[in-house]
């Protein structure tokens, strides 16, 4: 019986490849917020209105927000949006949306699938 694993909707046929994919996903979740959000600098205020920079921040900039600025944070998949955030509020929003993203890609789940051995059934499910 051959086993394959499914992780973040990708098939793996070796345990080593699966383990590497899990570790790579952890690195991405720790370091690459542009996978799930767009963050932009915002100038203005709640009374007069906000103006957003047209240029999204890089991963490095999101991971090191400037204490003197305000930001908008937009989720890529869910459409969740927040505007005029302080750096600490923006960081908290990015982390909140990371949780939502990790849940949606099932980052904490691996499926092991054993193919039947008596007969090749792949023609019936493809």
Q: Tens digits of per-residue pLDDT, 85-114? A: 999 999 999 999 999 999 999 999 999 987
Spatial distance between the Cα atoms of 18 and 37, rounded to a whole number of angstroms: 26
**Residue-number span of the structural domain to which 77 is assigned:** 1-126
Q: Tens digits of per-residue pLDDT, 33-73? A: 999 999 999 999 999 999 999 999 999 999 999 999 999 99
Spatial distance between the Cα atoms of 63 and 108, rounded to a whole number of angstroms: 23
Spell out a b/e string for 71-85, using b for 16 or more CB atoms within 10 Å of the CB, else e: bbbbbeeeeeebbbb
Q: What are phi and psi of 49, to 5 degrees?
A: 105, 165
Q: How many CA atoms lie within 13 A of 55 on its CB side?
A: 4
- Please give the tally of structural domains in the chain: 1
**pTM for this model (two decimals):** 0.86
């Amino acid at each position: 019986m051959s086993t394959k694993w499914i992780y973040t909707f990708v098939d793996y046929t070796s345990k080593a490849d699966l383990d590497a994919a899990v570790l790579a996903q952890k690195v991405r979740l720790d370091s690459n917020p542009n996978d799930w959000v767009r963050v932009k600098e915002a100038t203005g205020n709640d009374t007069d209105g906000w103006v957003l920079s047209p240029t999204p921040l890089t991963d490095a900039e999101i991971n090191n927000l400037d204490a003197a600025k305000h930001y908008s944070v937009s989720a890529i998949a869910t459409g969740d949006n927040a505007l005029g955030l302080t750096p600490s509020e923006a960081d908290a929003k990015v982390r909140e949306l990371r949780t939502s993203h990790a849940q949606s890609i099932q980052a904490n789940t691996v499926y092991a699938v054993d193919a039947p051995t008596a007969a090749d059934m792949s023609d019936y499910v493809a």
